[in-house]
Chain A
Amino acid sequence: MSVDALLAVLLIPALAAAALALVPGYRVSAALNVVASAATFVAAASLFFTRPAGGLYLRVDDLSVVFIVLSAFVGLTTSVFSASYIAHEVEIGRLTPARLRFYHAMYQALLFAMNLALVANNIGLMWVAIELATLTTVMMVAVYRTHEAIEAAWKYFILASVGIALALFGTILVYVAAQPVVGAGLPGMVWTRLIVAARRMDPALLNLAFVFLLLGYGTKVGLAPLHAWLPDAHAEGPTPISAVLSGLLLNVALYAVLRFKMLLAANPGAVAPGPLMITMGLVSLIFAAFMLYRRRDIKRLFAYSSIEHMGIIAFAFGMGGPLANFAGLLHMTMHSLTKSAIFFNVGHVAQVKGAQSIADIRGLTVTHPVLGWTLAASVMAIAGLPPFGIFTSEFLVVSSTFARQPLLAVPLVFGLIIAFGALLLRLQGLAFGEPSPGAARARASYLPMFGHLALVLTAGVFFPPLITQWFQHVARLLG
């Protein structure tokens, strides 16, 4: 019974992807997409209660279950949003039914790849899964077949390929370090064996491996200066994909980095991985904060905001320790929920206005009160205003930094304030003022958007003690 939940998380999306490749009608496949995502979410949630026994390839532990459930939840809500979004895209002729078939199959294939990366107990398998996730997202970014979309996909493809190539070199180095200790063959790549034996591995090899892994998977996390693919891929792909990229795929890559960080931390002779992550995190945060001011495209604006937040998260995990890790986990969850809510909103906005340019979107609260006010609320949430959950997590990151490394808190707070200013400045034009033309009613499904915002708001006001305990437990595991 319990093993089934682990397999279900993988098999449901895999089978759904195969089925969706065969279903011709887009209404049916959109519904099937939602059903499959919901089933995956149920299976993922059940992992909280029954923990299947792992093997040499697959395993679920307390860390990965947080990522899996978050991933399955955002996958579910995005599939609901996607159903209403693509109906409009088909009407205006941006997508043909044949491409939609492909799109839906790829959506489930992506969920499969991400779940596989999260439950993999094997560094080689994890690498293959992340590579598969890259391939599927590249094809989804290119789905509109416009010049810009193909260019964005190409840029993403090349940069991500180099990233995962470097990650593979790092993976091989980890195996070379593990092989004399754990023994040759399959055990040399199994997490559960590696983490136990990490103490006795050659620290110099591990250091070198971590540099490659951080650069490689860091490209996929979107950390500066390896972020160049991220804004283009977010802006030119379909909006549901922007939501999944920001809300999930970046997290999955981060999960890989965290796993290897734990490996290094378990070896007393290896260099501390924290400072590297702190530096990359701060650079991403401050760079993205300044870039926010110069954005003219609304999806690009929020893509840079994702880089900013991944920077904060990498910073928090780089600081380490129970409190900072807790803050990092919380921030990651809150960012995923808020950012995908924003992309749901932006998707509808871009459809009613027929444009993605910030200059063409004005006065939303006048023409579309629901969309406008929700956008205002979610931008305030992502900027870190109370009472939303991101305020709590950013406060925790800042306060834990002040307590331990006051000097590091200065650039952190600086970056947060710069980004805050940029977002509020942009929000003013988007939501208020003289409305721009384009008053078509949005036929949107507001449920995913409201659901996410409600969760973020609830987390900011009252965080369930059960989840707090869980996160604290995971934060201790992360070291």
Chain B
Amino acid sequence: MIDGLSFDIAHLLAGALVLISLLMLYQDRLTALINVFAAQAVTLALSVAWQACVQGAPHLYITAAITLALKAIVIPLALHRIIKILGIHRELDQAVGVGPTMLAGVALVALALVVMLGVTSSGGDRIAREDLAFALSVVLLGLLMMVTRRNAVGLVVGFMSLENGLVLAATGARGMPLVVEISVAFSVLIAFIVIGVFLFRIRERFETVDVAALDQFRGDRG
């Protein structure tokens, strides 16, 4: 009974993460996108905390706390500030239309479920198995988001949501060691990316952080 309930809650939270990833796909304003991302980070923190509780692994609470503090509060605030300074908080940001993006997103989720459930059907931990399927969906949706966003801030949000999927996978794998270390290492990476975006602008090297503008230098293709 308890087992069934704990499974359902884990399932619910992981499913919510996938749903929020899909929500992020069709946000065409950056402000909204960042807010939805913050919501995903909160959900992830809850999910990690639940895994910590279910698995009796107190170190996972650290990962949950890092996720909550950094990805749900600090980074969204920083990103809001960046887009305000850049004056792009009202801009639309979609390289591909919403329709095709959503279709591609749904297809990727289906692919993730087919691949993961097919591969792991030979027994094993049910939570781990379904968590992995959800995690792969979030990873693939994050990749899709990185492809469909033209703006560097959108790109960063896409990457961070991809990383949310990885944290979900790592915490879902029962007893996985070094999860805290890995999530710290990843947070450093993300912090650097955000600082990078910020520095570009402060140094005024680029007129915009539009990734299309980055392409003006095309190597020696001339």
Contacts and interface: CB of A to CB of B under 8 A. Distances in A.
Interface of A: 122, 124-125, 127-128, 131-132, 135, 138, 145, 147-148, 150-151, 154-155, 157-158, 161-162, 165-166, 168-169, 172-173, 175-176, 179-180, 184-186, 188-189, 202, 204-205, 207-208, 231-232, 235, 294-297, 300
Contact of A151 (B139, B163, B217, B221): B217
Contacts of B170: 168, 172
A131 B189 contact: yes
B122 A204 contact: yes
Given A124-B182, A128-B182, A185 B173 contact: no
Given A124-B178, A124-B181, A208 B155 contact: no
Interface residues of B, number: 47
A188 B219 contact: no
A128 B166 contact: no
Contacts of A138: 192
Given A122-B178, A172-B173, A154 B214 contact: yes
Interface string B9-24: 0000000000000000
A300 B219 contact: yes
A132 B185 contact: yes
B220 A186 contact: no
A345 to B, nearest CB: 20
Nearest to A296: B220
Contact of A180 (B119, B124, B163): B124
B83 to A, nearest CB: 18
Contacts of B217: 147-148, 151
Interface in B168-183: 169-170, 173-178, 181-182
Contact of A161 (B128, B177, B189, B222): B189
18 contacts: A124-B178, A145-B203, A147-B205, A148-B217, A157-B193, A162-B146, A165-B139, A165-B159, A169-B139, A169-B169, A188-B177, A202-B119, A204-B120, A204-B122, A205-B120, A232-B219, A294-B221, A296-B222
A124 to B, nearest CB: 4
Interface string B135-161: 110010001001000000001000100
B175 A179 contact: yes
A38 B92 CA distance: 54
Contacts of A185: 175, 177
A204 B189 contact: no
Contacts of A208: 115-116, 119
B214 A202 contact: no
